Structure 1
């Protein structure tokens, strides 16, 4: 085979992807993940103890999960076997388990690496349990999804979940330097373009090396790309953002909490991250309306008006013009006074409604359209508030068995300061009129 490459004027090793050629041969060569393989990292401590145990690697693509599993097998002298949950079924698992049992009889253990393990169904995941428990295999599963949601509790109870972090700019720069040594030539990018490429990689080491390969393939002799030319050549890699998985929920949580925390700059950043990742702008618009009523409420009654107006503006203008309306609402909500007074009151009233059964309203506030109902005391003693002094009768409107309740307690913020004054004023009038009625 090597003669075929040579006769064609090709280097066989050079035909392999750069990411594969730079795959670390030792744990010390792994870029990033120092919280796992550093001097005090959990994997370092496990290797020192001589006991590895089954593991679940959770993290974004291109962070070294497969490489780490392979190196762990080498460090512990376990046979390394790899399968993908996307392409494997029960028959494949049985073959793996049988081969592992045969090795175990001969005195050698097996590290079974399962990529995309979250793709297996519950029955397939359960099949791992007996061979994990009796030591036939040491399972290392890799997933980009939250194991708490995607893997069953029985499997998680038998494995240690390790979180892999996206590679930072320094780690990606280290990879590019290694690539330049492997290629024996500098990457034909100016400093700005180099940083742009690192940003495009979005924490994915494999992506950084693939983008670098594209640059080397495309650049002519002595040509150096700037950021604009780089973007034209390699296109822009979409950010890691799955609109139905963790990325979606993590970013909307970040946006919501930034608005709640009155950080307009952070709120704008997270909203733009979602838009940049392809999120439906109308989903963001709906969430802004929710924030307006949950976290601002009557502290600024105009907040929900702004949020609804932004939604309507986006529906009329579309993208990209309508996104500015969403940005305006986002900043308005973040800078508005905050109150969850109505939200708390609603939950308390809802709980009371569910727990007190079907209590009837007091008769004096029930209409009496028939003679029989009037004879039964319906509407008897009702005082028309507009005829009362100050437009306030002070009557009780709760069921008699409950008595008066207090759910809404507006804070001393924003417009709710005025509401609090009104409630205090009405409570004072109510007490005065009850006293007058008792006397």
Structure 2
């Protein structure tokens, strides 16, 4: 690895914190989850700390009880546009599913966001695993796992072709001659495939980044193969250093096999930093949050994730036998992570929902600022991460703790920059701007 590597940090924005019970804790105001100003302040705070990007997860379903499954009040494009106008440098990444979108609309939306933000847009590509999601789109059940990734691959072929359908410089705007665009540099894509038929071209010129940054978060075998082909940043979840190292090495190897530069695939595990001035103080905050978890609701969420009804299972017993992962049509990698966590640490159902309450399977690191910095440096230096997806347990306080207490330590160690060196999201991640498929011609 290059000796002058610098950490990449993405701020994962979620309501008033990533802990399931954050909204019940006195350090938060749950009403802020519905406030644009709240998210604008968080984005500005992250930008002041030189974070590479902020990120919005999204789903197209809500739990029937109106509970934890409500990820956000806002859909990503609306909120990210509101963040774009109050920031100048930080990247803006949003989740949109290939399962419930059309390539033309999505390509146009992300190109628009890239223009509005002057080159700061990124797309987190998901295939959507939930049955409830499918039932909101005139389907009784979701597509099979393999079909979802097959559709996603064709979706990316279409979207990237549309982003390239206008060459750089095709927009002429010559008022004297009346020549608006160079028609020879605007191309139909004439895509006819199994899932999509799209003529093109896109009805917006090529955006500042050429292609908005492509991000991916699935860690199943299909997800990793897809990431190796397309992803430029990968948000992932591993519980141990050894698991992180194995994932990191495997994905970089697959990217090289796919003919890509492995250095152009940035791997950012999720981390929930629970920070205190002493270790005891940090553990006290962690315990306070865990004690606010509603076990019935948490078990309901876990049942949905695993695809196994646990609502009548005793809280103080281990999980019942789970089906083989091959039979799971949902999020296979998250299923395996939770199963392995429960088996490795011999957790009861009550203990498991407590462990998952902090970060839904992402690593929760509790300690002093120095201990958090040590953990980050260890993963970064020992081949498990290029940076981290920061998931504060409470917001905005958890972000303030991280930016004011942990980042200065990492800067003193020479691991994180003092300020931005570029203006676009691709420049922040050290990635090239795609030339476009018609550039050579």
Q: TM-score, normalised by structure 1?
A: 0.28
Q: Which has the higher helix share?
A: 1
Q: TM-score, normalised by structure 2?
A: 0.28
Bigger-Rg structure (1/2) = 1
